[in-house]
């Protein structure tokens, strides 16, 4: 299994941020090969 992740944080103000992630995974084994790509987004608000 190979996995690569790229992330970005965007701070809108001292209390709010938006986080983005892109994950790409590759699987190689005796049963077969495959890949998976995931895009994630999360918002965090501190109150």
The number of domains in the chain is 1
Instruction: Say if residue 14's pLDDT is above 90.
Output: yes
**Residue 31: pLDDT above 90?**
no
Q: Is the pTM of this model over 0.85?
A: no
Q: Do 40 and 8 touch, CB atoms closer than 8 A?
A: no
Domain hosting residue 18, numbered range: 2-45
What is d(CA 43, CA 1) in angstroms, rounded to the nearest whole number? Answer: 29
pLDDT for 28 equals 87
């Amino acid at each position: 299994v190979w996995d690569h992740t790229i992330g970005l944080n965007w701070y809108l103000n001292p209390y709010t941020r938006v986080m983005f992630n892109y994950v790409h995974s590759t699987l190689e084994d005796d049963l077969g090969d495959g890949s998976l790509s995931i895009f994630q987004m999360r918002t965090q608000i501190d109150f």
